[in-house]
Amino acid sequence: MKRNHLLGVMALAVAVATMGASSSTPAKSGSDTATVKGGVKVDAIPTPTRINMSSDVACARLHTTAALSEDIVASKNGDLQNVVVYVADGLGDRTFEVPAESAVLQQKGCMYEPHVLALRANQKLQVINGDTCMHNIHPAPANNREWNKAQTPGSTLEATFAREEVGIPLKCNVHPWMRSYLAVFKHPFFAVTGKDGSFDLSNLPPGTYTISAWQEKLGTVSQKITVGSNETKTVQFVFKAKAGS
């Protein structure tokens, strides 16, 4: 009994220590911090195409209806998902602690989840194969080391990326439709838009920044903005997908 109680106390102490470490990053909240938030839209909403998984029945049978392409995912209002919004310039030579927790990329139903993942340079990336078939993870970076690893069903592999790079394509050499993108940052001021296209970059040091938004098919758009202490500014990005726009 006594031993169990002691173990319980130790587990609690570890949990508290971990919480303390994560709450100290990325920056102190409260006074002296600035926020840039807003939304991302696209001016034309493409119809997603159906993915043909017939070359691997193990994948195809995991879907009752065909999975849809994810290269441009937008709501009926044009809110654009899977856009990486980040501070591209303005932080000077500040350095930031690398988070202890891992970023996670899953393979489920022979699709990557999330489709776009942003993480920190040298942060641990866990790639999980939740499927019953083999996958082959193959990132093709321009500014980091390229690698290529087969992954057995149910296994997890770990990787890190040492340098900043936005839009590293990651593919599976077994299943040609599988594609995701990674964005690697030296700082914590980035977000990936969800279904409503919104983003929130908080705890920024007050200053003048170039804020960029990257989308895998539509490229990069940027805006310069100055935010003061305890100030929140809103930025809207609109990507042009309409012919001639």
Residues that bind Cu ion (CB under 5 A): 135, 172, 174-175, 178
Q: What share of the chain is helix, strand, coil (3-state, %, to 5)?
A: 10, 40, 50
Find the shortest distance in angstroms from Cβ 151 to Cu ion.
8
Find the shortest distance in angstroms from Cβ 46 to Cu ion.
25
List, in order, residues 6 or more apart from 167 with CB less than 8 Å away: 84, 181, 182, 183, 214, 216
Compare residues 84 and 172 and give the one whose CB is closer to Cu ion.
172
Find the shortest distance in angstroms from Cβ 183 to Cu ion.
21
- Cα dist. 235→74, 87, 97, 191, 201 in Å? 18, 12, 27, 13, 11
Hey, is 146 helix, strand or coil? coil
Compare residues 132 and 143 and give the one whose CB is closer to Cu ion.
132
Torsional sign, CA 66, 71, 77, 83: positive
CB nearest Cu ion: which residue?
172
Q: Report DSSP state, residue 241.
A: -
Structural tokens at position 56: 């691997």
Structural tokens at position 231: 């100030």
Determine how β-strand 232-239 pairs with β-strand 34-42: parallel
Compare residues 78 and 109 and give the one whose CB is closer to Cu ion.
109
CA proximity to 184, closest of 116, 107, 114: 116
Find the shortest distance in angstroms from Cβ 110 to Cu ion.
5
Compare residues 119 and 127 and give the one whose CB is closer to Cu ion.
127
Compare residues 34 and 172 and give the one whose CB is closer to Cu ion.
172
Compare residues 80 and 178 and give the one whose CB is closer to Cu ion.
178
Find the shortest distance in angstroms from Cβ 194 to Cu ion.
25
Find the shortest distance in angstroms from Cβ 176 to Cu ion.
9
Find the shortest distance in angstroms from Cβ 153 to Cu ion.
11
CA proximity to 118, closest of 193, 211, 27, 40: 193
Compare residues 41 and 135 and give the one whose CB is closer to Cu ion.
135
Q: How many CB atoms lie within 10 A of CB 124?
A: 16
